[in-house]
A and B are shown apart, each in its own frame.
Chain A
Amino acid sequence: MKLPKIDLKELKKLKEDNFKERLDFIDQYTEWLKKSPNKKWSSQQSNLIQ
């Protein structure tokens, strides 16, 4: 089987970009969380973690 070309530099950049996106999402989520009643965010969290 012929394997695809793998560019480790490109993969490393992809990994860094994904991580940055997750960190940016934390900014958005914490802003939403601060404005949301406990009942609202915790019921969503509870559905996920059960």
Chain B
Amino acid sequence: MELKFTKEGIEFEKQLNNLDNFVIDFSKVLNKLNVKYVVVSGYVSILFGRNRSSEDIDIIIEKLTLPKFGMLWNELNKEFECINAENKDSAYKDYLLTHHAIRFSRKGEFIPNMEIKFPKIDLDDWTIANRKEVSLNKHQIFISPLELQIPFKLFLGSEKDIEDAKYLYKLFKDNLNLPLLIDFNRKLKIEQSFNKYLR
């Protein structure tokens, strides 16, 4: 695996799969409108080669004003459609402001879909503030720092999550900020799982 670690994040090239193309096309809209976002889901491990698929990709976006969200809604609707909210106002007020996710898929399709939320807890804000840039075939995608992504997957604790955590840790352990990862292990109280499954 050829990865280039830079000050901003990670650069690499690969043969893109369907999920990669979906994320790239969606991210282009967010990047164009300078909306801060971070991909936090299992897609992070898929991005780096894990052989599984996913029907949804979780994204946290910075809290937007209604006018700015309106711009995003209009831009997204050129290529995508919201599959769970009726309109822009409902998406904003009934979903995002009440910390429920809105989901966008490509027009006429249902999966894969992008599950979008506003930050709800401090950890969400931290993730956005410390997001890492991935240059995938020269396309810019922002992901959660792996030092949080790995412990958080262990915290979620399903077999799939533990496998994702192990996968990312094995792949990146020589390039991680280990003290930071260990701090998150402690805060999330998952040291035991970490030692059991990842060591």
- A residues contacting B by CB (< 8 A) are 19, 22-23, 26-27, 29-31, 33-39, 41-46, 48-50
Chain B residues with CB under 8 A of A38: 1-2, 12-15
Q: Distance in Å from the Cβ of B23 to the closest Cβ of chain A?
A: 12
Main secondary structure of the interface of A (DSSP, over half): helix
User: Bound complex: CA of A19 vs CA of B18, how far in Å?
Assistant: 28
CB pair B17 A26 closer than 8 Å:
no
B interface residues, how many (CB within 8 angstroms): 22
* Interchain CB contact under 8 A, B1 and A36: yes
- A23 to B49, Cβ gap below 8 A? no
- List which B1-23 residues lie within 8 A (CB) of chain A: 1-2, 12-19
**B171, CB-defined interface residue at 8 Å:** yes
Q: B167 to chain A: which residues have CB within 8 Å?
A: 26, 29-30
Q: Are B15 and A46 in contact (CB under 8 A)?
A: yes
Q: Which of B68-76, B90-98, B158-166, B183-191 contacts A (4 or more CB under 8 A)?
A: B158-166
- Let me know if B2 and A37 touch, CB within 8 A: yes
Using CB atoms, name the residue of chain A closest to B3.
A38
Q: Is B182 an interface residue (CB 8 A)?
A: no
B87 contacts the other chain (CB 8 A): no
Q: Closest residue of chain A to B172, judged by CB?
A: A30
Residues of B within 8 A of A (CB): 1-2, 12-19, 46, 49, 51, 53, 159, 162-163, 166-167, 170-171, 197
- Smallest distance from the beta carbon of B19 to chain A beta carbons, Å? 6
Contact status B46-A34, CB under 8 Å: no
- Bound complex: CA A31 to CA B170 (Å): 8
- Least Cβ distance of A20 to chain B in Å? 9
CB nearest neighbor in A for B53 = A49
Choose one: B2, B14, B16, B163; the contact of A22 (CB below 8 Å).
B163
Contacts of A29 in B (CB 8 A): 51, 167
- Chain B residues contacting A43 (CB-CB under 8 Å) are 15
Residues of B within 8 A of A27 (CB): 166, 170
* A26 in contact with B166 (CB, 8 Å): yes
Chain B residues contacting A50 (CB-CB under 8 Å) are 17-18
Residue of A nearest to B164 (CB): A26
